[in-house]
Amino acid sequence: MQVPVEWLREYVDFEDIPIEEVADKLTMAGLEVGEIYPERFGYENSYVGRVTNVSEHPAKPGFWILTVEDDTRGNTVLTNLREFRVGEIIPIGYEGFILPDGMKLESMKFGGETSDAKILSEADVEYSDNAEVILPLPESAKVGDCVPDAIGITQEVFKFDLTANRGDCLCVLGIARDLAAVLDRPIKKDVFDFELETKPLDIDFSVTIKAPMLCPRYSGRVIRNVRIEESPLWMRRRLVCSGMRGINSIVDVTNYVMIETGQPLHAFDLDTLQKRAIVVRRAIAGEKIKTIDDTDRLLDPYMLVIADKTRPVAVAGVMGGAETEIEGDTVNMLLESAHFQPRNLRKTATGLDMRTEASVRFEKGVNPDTTVKCSDYASYLIAKMGWGTPLDGLIDKYPKPVKPKKISLNPAKVQKFISPDIEPSEMEGILRRLDFVVEKPEKGKILKVTAPGHRFDIAIWEDLAEEIARIYGYNRVPSVMPKTLIHRAVMTPNQAGNRKLREILAGCGLSETITFSFTNLKELTRIWPDKTPVAVPILNPLTEDHTHLRPTLVPNMLKTIARNRANSPDVPLQLFELGKVFMDPENPAEEDALCIGVCGRSLRTPTKTDYNFQLPVYYVIKGIIEQFIDSVTPETPSFRPADNVLYHPNRSAEIYLGKEKIGELGEVHPEICANFDIRHVTAVATVDIAPLKAILDREPRYEAISRHPALARDISVIVPENVAARSIEEIICRYGSDLLERAYVYDVFRGEKIGEGKKSVTFALEFRAVDRTLTDEEVNPIMEKIIFFVRDEAGGTLRTS
């Protein structure tokens, strides 16, 4: 945003303050002045020079060759205006000087002599229309001065770097309001203090709003007898200082009012509108419009357009259409002043890749309360300049007026927030200087503050406190070290439980992996094509690979194994991830889950037997699970056949702790391995860690270790093939009495001696008493009892050879 200092002085008197100090005060109040620069209107390549040599042109009588210099440069000028004297001071324009018609000065040859500059006339800087009169210089002009500086037309301009919330300051009036509050000086000028004279309406036109959510307010006024001409120099120069250029009288007025008040306007050639109707609606799919930049644009249905009865004639708040723009032969025009929904308008401007001065202001927010006032102001200027006749009958559609925001403010909170030195009365004064309405209650200290219509960024009391602070002065806020109580970091029970489990898993020889909590349905379908787990969708996913929250850790574990095996195919992997999974899209909830993955030749075989021999990964991961659970609880887990398409049909199991299922393990099905580009046998396990963490929370129980030796026995039983070894182990443990300390399988044999459809399972049993050394006489009855019940419940027989 660029604002000429001269324009600001029409609103606020600050002649006694250096503009650098004014810029600093505005910056400290939140309106950062990034630069103060002189606007010379294209006349930069000029200077006040002294004639140092005069000679007649050798080939052209009546022409003189002048050498003009200042302290740093010199130029040659050919002229036939008159004979000049050495020592005369004249205004010079050299190569690059921009003439009023937009042409740039260039070197030229005349009669064999080169001229690289010209003596500036009054017309060259629009001092007057006289191109034959040399531009007069004031007595204060010095050799070397830039000509616009010497004659006093250079204007100082503030260039602001505004924050996104200060859309109200994208105009001279907005900057002036804040400047007046900062300097605590009154606003001298009311831009809306005028009397608009109109003629009776004798032209019918209509306005219909079909999308009131996107266009809360729309007003239109007819202006007759439009006259298109060049706008006056003062207006064009103010537009240039504001970063715009003059086009013609009507367009310049709409731009001028927008720069001064912040309200974008648009002028339609009324006679080009079908049935002289305005319809504010969404675009129809496939609809096109040619905008005034002569570009055909395809519109989307979410875009708001201004249309007549048959076609769109403008992209609302962004740019007008070429078919209805103001031309030299325009007689009747319709002046639009409206308020559009910022979010949709920004989406439209971005979608069409055409952000304009108008769209930027609508995106930041425009005051809907001044829509008609700004239209009247533009009409007043048009009538004052003699460019048209405003008519009665302005149509103003405002179905749901915006209600002002009212906020409760506790001065004590503000004092705590900013400084205890600021008095409540000073707070009230600052807010009133910023056009807030402050109501003091009869009882109590809570103020009722109503935000002005142009401050749509004010919503909560902290916003009011910020307004008070920036006008009060951030440099007046005391620098005090904050007083805080530092507490020792304490883990939650859940965090402590997870940390303990991670230590146990690391002790089992596993390395931890950490992956994103995102997945996508395609990954889940690669594992469960028929019964894909339900996943919680992400409303605004960043990538196509991260569209849902993960309901399981398995896909991430398989991807981790695939990446690591691809990079290091000979390195064995024993990994775990303890992380969050997300369930039930209807009522989303997150839970802790554990996944273990094994791939490749294991470095060790974690089994209770401690036999160091190579086993398939199924037995490796089963041993890891046994060791992990054994580190958590003395209760021994049991395993039952699993039915999950993730696993190999004959190499998977459900994990039970007591009667509760806590997970599954198994060798991953070869087809699923292929889906994830894994070329080695892989096993995974998933464990519900909630029951295990509940066990961790229990108080440990001490049991004395027997000082007496164990008595070992072996038992081999022949059972049908379908009898699980685990069921036999359960029988042995059930009838082994309290003296049985341990029972485990150490051999399974099948062969002709055993018989078809049968197997021999050998168990190692260890008996021990706490208070004595056991004898055969004590153990033999127990062994006989075990053999009897194995025969009775499992159909087994004792193998004798």
Separation between Cα atoms, residue 117 and residue 97, nearest integer Å: 9
Does an H or E element contain 259, and which? helix 249-261
The answer to whether 317 touches 261, Cβ cutoff 8 Å, is no
Separation between Cα atoms, residue 448 and residue 451, nearest integer Å: 10
Give the pLDDT confidence score for residue 602 in this predicted structure. 64
Separation between Cα atoms, residue 624 and residue 685, nearest integer Å: 10
Strands 573-583 and 511-512 come out as parallel
- Amino acid present at 179: L
Separation between Cα atoms, residue 527 and residue 669, nearest integer Å: 9
Helix (H, G, I), strand (E, B), or coil: what is residue 622?
helix
The answer to whether 94 touches 75, Cβ cutoff 8 Å, is yes
The tens digit of pLDDT for each residue in 189-225 reads: 999 999 999 999 988 899 999 999 999 999 999 999 9
Separation between Cα atoms, residue 67 and residue 49, nearest integer Å: 9
| CA neighbor of 553 nearest in space, from 511, 586, 513 | 513
The answer to whether 218 touches 336, Cβ cutoff 8 Å, is yes
Separation between Cα atoms, residue 4 and residue 11, nearest integer Å: 12
Longest dimension (CA), the chain: 148
CB atoms within 10 A of CB 666: 25
The answer to whether 65 touches 113, Cβ cutoff 8 Å, is yes
Separation between Cα atoms, residue 599 and residue 572, nearest integer Å: 6
Token pair in block for residue 762: 């050998």
Residue where the block lists tokens 């708040």:
317
Strand partners, 389: 224
- Domains of the chain, each with CATH number or no CATH: 2-39+156-183 (3.30.56.10), 46-150 (2.40.50.140), 206-397 (3.50.40.10), 406-472 (3.30.56.10), 493-696 (3.30.930.10), 711-798 (3.30.70.380)
Buried b (16+ CB within 10 A) or exposed e, 395-410: bebbeeeeeebebebb
C-alpha 599: how far from chain center: 41
Helix (H, G, I), strand (E, B), or coil: what is residue 65?
strand
Which residue ranges in the chain fall short of pLDDT 70?
602-615
Token pair in block for residue 767: 């008996």
Show contacts of 793-798: CB within 8 Å, 24+ apart.
Answer: 793/731, 794/717, 794/719, 794/723, 794/727, 794/728, 794/731, 795/719, 795/720, 795/723, 796/717, 796/718, 796/719, 796/723, 796/728, 797/717, 797/718, 798/715, 798/716, 798/717, 798/718
Length of the chain: 801
Separation between Cα atoms, residue 613 and residue 626, nearest integer Å: 17
Give the pLDDT confidence score for residue 10 in this predicted structure. 94
Could you tell me the pTM of the whole model?
Answer: 0.66
- Amino acid present at 300: D
Token pair in block for residue 223: 């202006």
Strand partners, 76: 67
The answer to whether 532 touches 519, Cβ cutoff 8 Å, is no
Separation between Cα atoms, residue 310 and residue 290, nearest integer Å: 15
